[in-house]
A and B are shown apart, each in its own frame.
Chain A
Amino acid sequence: MSRIGVFICHCGENISATVDCEKVAKVSGFLPGVAFSVDYKYMCSDPGQNLIKDAIKEHKLTGVVVAACSPRMHEPTFRRATAEAGVNPFLCEMANLREHCSWVHEKGDATTNKAIDIVRSLVAKVKRNQALYPIKVPVTKTALVIGGGVAGIQAALDIANTGHKVIMVEKEPSIGGHMSQLSETFPTLDCSQCILTPRMVEVAQHQNITLFTYAEVESLEGFIGNFKVKIRKKAKSIDEKACTGCGMCTTKCPQKKIKSEWEQGLGVRPAIYVPFPQAVPNKPVIDRINCTYYKTGKCKICEKVCPTKAIRFEQEDEVIEREVGAVVVATGYDIKRTDFFPEYGYDKHKDIIDGLQFERLASASGPTKGEIRRPSDGEIPKNIVFVACAGSRDVAKGIEYCSKICCMYTAKHAMLYKHKVHDGNAYVFYMDIRAAGKGYEEFTRRAIEEDGAKYIRGRVSKIYEKNGKLIVVGADTLMGAQQVEIEADMVVLATASIANKDSKDLAHKLHVSYDAHHFISEAHPKLKPVETNTAGIFLAGACQAPKDIPESVAQASGAAVKVACLFSNDELTREPIIAVVNRLAPPAYSTCTGCFLCEKVCPYQAITREEIKNREGNVIRNLAVVNPGLCQGCGTCVALCKSKSIDLQGYSNDQVYAEVAAVLDTI
């Protein structure tokens, strides 16, 4: 005979405001099999947990139902308390009275009755629960870092410095990410390349880091501690071992006018190229779309001039497989381009550029060698307008969030411009100046007060070209929304930060969730900011939300610590919520008929075949067996098993039917 204890939590007023908790406790006490029931204000608190522990001992309870919040919140808490009182933790279940009842209904009898129904159904289930024991799995102590920007670099170096192996995958020919494109960085104005390139080199030279550039993650299977990753190494068309990076090929390539991605289209590169002089690795790749040889079948000049015969035109993509124990996603962000803005001319005007393009213009290594010259005619603009929040915080544009970095980099841009063009005018249209960060407010004040950037609070409705000038039409909301018109020579739009275009695909490959804007979701916005909902996969940098460099680096170090924690164990314990094929005494062995439909549908390849032999050693039966290390407990095999031979531990058909039947009884 079961002796179940039911514990009703008020959750402060979260539940008790709409549910009559005392009544629920009282009614629950009369349910068959319930030996004890009580309500309490905060069941998750220390006294609340003690209440449960004491009741278990005093009333010799054989099962526990805690009717409180979502199991995602406190199931581990209550299972731990149950275990401490000497009862198997899997004999404790949670009835979700908060998210499933009190938060979504009005106060009243119907709500209280629903709460009672939920409790009754969980009581019916817990009576059929069985003691389960955690599964132990080994850990592969190698981390995969996806993305070689500043966040990926930081995470990789931190993990590698704890003595663990790291595999870094970067889709571009060089690591460095967007930070390598920046001129100076706020709020100190130190040169971006100067602080980043030493770290890039460190990655390449670190004995614990294996670097794959021009490569992408093809698929990821497995689970925490035991992932298998397939990496597509795109054909670089060179032999990396033979290539010395001498640069002969890139100087002799006849294709010289291809728009450089790294220069944001403001500079050019050849078809065989390294994206920038400080690239890591400093070895070229052939852009097959623009290469004369791949287009016409003739040329091969690079092959002729290469002193080490390193060119490989016939090279193909290679897919390699590696085992890793943890993954750090650091794939970064992108920005909206100027063609997104009809009111600013859909990219019609050459001298309306985005923030990254301005970074290239201001950079000493950029196409103008750091002189601010406008793209159309190379003139130095005397009047320059910066438009903050271009696309951000704009529901009509579908981007309601703040891109976070633009206030600061726009102040920096205005400052850099004023440092280089002393007699020029820099205007900044802004909504609010969001400069919350160490030294940030001081920085924007400096742009306004010391460098004389003219800040205008208001939005720009329209930019059009007239007699070679860009007419910027806006409002000054501090002057009674007066219309402002500025004749500008150049306009810089601080366009919205957005998720990378392949962010969603990657999330699907990694089985992690993403938000409406395709940024990858963290497990909890406050308490689990670097974890994803998939155990063993962590986040670093702007792939999660727009972030500046300090924040990306901090998060990357956080993710690295999480990986290091994981790798400090030799084996992991997993919840035993897995499928099991029943076994019976010979001669039946099992009700499994050996159809192996389960093998076909299992998404985790967790089903294997076991041969049953007789005394003579002849195979008499083939049975399905679930590998507990691989099974994720999805239940697909249970649904498809024709002979009902597979069941999910903790959620067996018997338990779930009992749960449903208990609810249906009252209707």
Chain B
Amino acid sequence: MDSTYPLAELQKLIYRVVTRQSGAGEHRRSPLPAAEVDKIIAGEGRLSARARLQIYANAYVSRLLDAMKEDYGATCAVLGESAFENLVADYLAAYPPTEPSIMYAGRYLPDFLNGHSVSLPSPFAGELALLERTVLEAFVGPDSDALDPATIRLVSPEQWPIIPIKAGPNVRVLDFEWRVEPILRAVEAGAAWAAPERRANSILVWRRDLGVHYRELEHGERAGLALAIEGGKFSEICEAIAKEVGSSEETAALINRLFGRWIADGVLLNVMPDVAGAMEG
């Protein structure tokens, strides 16, 4: 006997019905083909066909909501559970998951949040979500060797200007309107959080070994780090710092201190093999 539906059509119908009945997902506003459901799914005394599909519908949204609460714990705390759930339902309609790993289901949430009504009382929430996402991605980003002081001591003063400087693969600089970094620290510590100050700031996120760190950039770091993320020569990065702060007697000391801080924090990549190449070049 031929099937009611070929397998491909059956799966597409089940997908549509499950996401529709979940109240989330891209098909949540499409008409429910109830008669079609009864033709394909067996329902009996204890549970109707629709009730059986509702089990999957409930699981769909609850599983994804749990994953996103874990990924965006601080954002959820700021928005409140109910608003966060509404946000996720709308998000799943706009961005149904496509990747095998559930870790990527929420990757577009920060941008989506910025344009969503739940952020109206908390206009900083999108930036907070972006900070959380960046920290998460750094946590599972590529491994690398950080440039360490012992390696730097091998470089003679004459070689310094041309040595390549590169930030580690998980280094990111985020430019924000709101000071959301203290909120994330407070939530991570289980402490109360306060509404953020509205002041332009840049946040550095990086991973050293297995730990992810983040902090606000100090004056003079932004241009230099942006160039280090792309990759540049030491002299070029010094020029970028000097251009940001202006040349003065303190500029050289600042450059020295910033590089020292970046090396101590493990922000820069060990590119000593490239240094050898640069020397030969």
Whether chains A and B associate is no
